[in-house]
Amino acid sequence: MSKGKLLAVSIVWLLILAVGVITWKTIFAPAVEQTQAELERQEAERQRKEREEALKKGGSNSHYRSQVNIALDGFSGYAVLRSPEFEETLRQQGIKLNLSDDGANYPARLESLKKGTTDMAVFTIDALVKTSAQMGDLPATIVAVIDETVGADAIVAYKQAYPNVDALNDPATKFVLTPDSPSETLARVVISRFQLDQLPANPFIEVRDAAAVLERYKQAKPADKLAYVLWEPFVSQMLKNERMHVVVDSSRFPSAIVDVLVVSDDFIAKNREVVRQVVEAYLKANYAYRDDSRRVQLVIDDAAAGGSPLTQDQAVRLVDGVWWKNTQENLAHFGARSGDKLPHIEDMIAGVTAVLRESGSIEKDPTDGNPNYLYNDSILRDLTDFQPGVESETIRGTAMPKLTDEQWNSLVQIGKARAPTLVFARGRASLTERSRSLLDELAGTLQATRYYVIVRGNASLQGDLEANKRLAEQRAQEVERYLVAQGVDRDRIRAIGVEPSGSTSVSFVLGEVAY
């Protein structure tokens, strides 16, 4: 093609393009803009009419920019979530609080989180793991620790029938409890920590709630082989009978019964700032009740509002049995502080999951060995510099006091720890590789209890008796040294040699200081 023809074609195409642009600007663009403007006008008109209708009905524009729906139940440990301080703090931030009591129906609670009808909820860690396993899904994540029961849940029985935990090891023993509750968790923890191998295959009698446990006790006879697992204030009511006593309570098993605040994965993805403000508001409200006297009054008022009034003594006992976690303790649990001895939330989840699996409560770990899937630490990491009030908060101690020789000698033996059999070579006190592996597991179990530990070494009857006594003590000391090296507090463990009985192993006895 000649240069002249090429120039002519180019000019023609430029003219066509120019005509197209002019046509778009003069005809189509104004039409599109007019249509868009009309749509915006219609939307503005619709909103204006809605406001007018609202005003005609006496309404106004909402003060709230968002709302949060939290599912929970009537447990007094959740009183701060129902407190005026919590609601008011959220209101000041433009967040409307909606609380729904589902009567501790944990499967329904988790399902509502999955469907989005609930935004946040309260669970015990064990309930969250168990219901997640049943659902086969992880629709919610932990964002804060609310409390830990340190005596509010207990196994109560007749002193004569069950003087200690060892006495529970009977084929006729039955635990009367509420299924899918902290009481069931406590029973399963006790079974997993103590040597209770004589219990029946299913040792549970399931009833509706703690009130039903109390009613079953009233109908029973002292000779019945029943242990009652329930929570405050029902524990105190049962203890009015001087023939009853607490065989074991939740104070002996740190991190076993822990209440946590969870949020649906969908809600935190869309409303992360709201979740942060809810957690912050809760920590502020909890700080407002840092004094026991205010906390007791809150619990009394909360119980009365819920239709289950408490006496002053019952409220005091309940407050003593619950450890409400403050900001600094939350930061420690979520790894946002270093050098603190409180367990990490990941280890707490893993420990509870192990108990549920060992006791047959769940067949499979819902996290497939990844407990980090069940918590989100980003919210608390955002609050590392947050201080809820003028007084600084501290992390409360968890160490057990050091005992005198007299206290060790008078230690009340509660029961034998569920522990592997460690076999020593004849005439030897050294640990085998297999024994070290078993002690590694036992160290974790012992650290998850708040009992003193007596390591009892044994030896053969053959040969020199005095030499065998020394060997028995050496075996116990070797085990003690190894467990301390694995993290067991030196002040709560003592090795002794017992009168040789022919065994070449050691045993572990858990005890408490005599009152």
Is the pLDDT reported for residue 186 higher than 90? yes
Residue range 406-426: average pLDDT? 88
> Cα separation of 155 and 170, whole Å?
16
DSSP state at residue 509: E
Per-residue confidence (pLDDT) for residue 250, from 0 to 100: 95
Q: Is the pLDDT of residue 24 over 70?
A: no
* pLDDT at 18 (0 to 100): 64
Of 252, 281, 310, the residue at which a domain comes to its end is 252
Question: Is 31 in a helix, a strand, or coil?
Answer: helix
Of the given ranges (25-34, 167-176, 178-187), which has the lowest mean pLDDT?
25-34
Q: Do 219 and 332 reside in the same domain of the chain?
A: no
Residues 182, 235, single domain; the answer is yes
Confidence at residue 434, expressed as pLDDT on a 0 to 100 scale:
87
Q: Are 435 and 423 a contacting pair, CB within 8 Å? A: yes
Residue with tokens 């000391």: 477
- Do 183 and 115 belong together in one domain? no
How does pLDDT run across 251-297, given as a tens digit for each residue?
Answer: 999 999 999 999 999 999 999 999 999 999 999 999 999 999 999 99
- Classify residue 30 by burial, with Cβ atoms within 10 Å: 0-12, 13-18, 19+: exposed
C-alpha distances (whole Å) from 363 to each of 203, 247, 346, 358, 375 are 18, 29, 20, 9, 21
Q: Are residues 374 and 267 in the same domain?
A: yes
Radius of gyration of the chain (CA): 32
Residue 433: band (very low, low, confident or very high) from pLDDT cuts 50, 70, 90: confident
270 and 187 in a single domain? The answer is: no
For residues 195 and 417, what is the distance between their CA atoms, to the nearest angstrom? 5
Q: Please, where are the H alpha helices in 98-144? A: 106-115, 125-135
Which residues are CB-contacts of 500 (< 8 A; sequence separation ≥ 6)?
Answer: 458, 459, 460, 461, 465, 468, 469, 472
Domain end point (choices 381, 416, 431): 381
Measured between alpha carbons, how far is 250 from 124 in angstroms, rounded to an integer?
Answer: 13
User: Residue 217, Cβ neighbours under 10 Å: how many?
Assistant: 21
Two tokens, residue 48: 């204006």
Residue 387 counted as domain residue: no
Whether residue 398 is contained in a domain is answered as no
**Confidence band, pLDDT 50/70/90 cuts, at residue 12:** low
The answer to whether residue 399 sits within a structural domain is no
Q: How many H helices and E strands in the chain? A: 18, 15
Task: Give the range of the structural domain holding residue 9, as residue numbers without chain letter.
Answer: 1-61
Residue 144 has pLDDT above 80, yes or no: yes
Q: Confirm whether 388 is domain-assigned.
A: no
Can you read off the two tokens belonging to residue 486? 């694995």
CB 219 within 8 A of CB 176: no
Same domain, 137 and 267: yes
Q: What is the pLDDT of residue 8?
A: 67
Q: Does an H or E element contain 249, and which?
A: strand 244-249
Q: Say if residue 312 is in the same domain as residue 286.
A: yes
339 and 273 in a single domain? The answer is yes
Q: Which of 183-187, 334-338, 339-343, 449-453 is predicted with the least confidence, judged by mean pLDDT?
A: 339-343
Q: What pLDDT is attached to residue 448? A: 86
Give pLDDT tens digits for 234-263.
999 999 999 999 999 999 999 999 999 999
Residue 428 has pLDDT above 60, yes or no: yes
Length of the chain, in residues: 515
Helix (H/G/I), strand (E/B), else coil: 476: helix
pLDDT tops 80 at residue 507: yes
CATH of the domain at 207: 3.40.190.10
Q: Is residue 472 part of a domain?
A: yes
| Residue 392, in any domain of the structure | no
Q: What is the mean pLDDT of the chain?
A: 90
Asked if residue 289 and residue 261 are part of one domain, the reply reads yes
Choose the final residue of a domain: 252, 284, 312: 252
Which pLDDT score, from 0 to 100, does residue 68 have?
Answer: 97
Q: How many domains does the chain have?
A: 4
Out of 27-41, 327-341, 342-356, the most confident range is 342-356
- The CA distance from 404 to 410, in Å, is 10
Give 51-107 pLDDT, tens digit per residue: 666 556 655 667 789 999 999 999 999 999 999 999 999 999 999 999 999 999 999
Q: What is the pLDDT of residues 191-230, one digit of tens each?
A: 999 999 999 999 999 999 999 999 999 999 999 999 999 9
Give domain status of residue 285, yes or no. yes
Q: Is 421 exposed, middle or buried (0-12, 13-18, 19+ CB in 10 A)?
A: exposed
From 89-93, 120-124, 236-240, 421-425, the region with the lowest mean pLDDT: 421-425
CATH assignment at residue 431: 3.30.1330.60
- Is residue 233 located within the same domain as residue 359? no
pLDDT at 205: 97
Q: Is there a single domain that holds both residue 118 and residue 187?
A: no
Judge if 121 and 222 occupy the same domain.
no
**pLDDT of the residue at 427:** 79
Alpha helices in 136-220 (DSSP H): 182-193, 210-219
- The verdict on residue 175 lying in a domain is yes
Write phi, then psi, for 508 (nearest 5 degrees). Answer: -125, 125
Residue 402 is which amino acid?
K
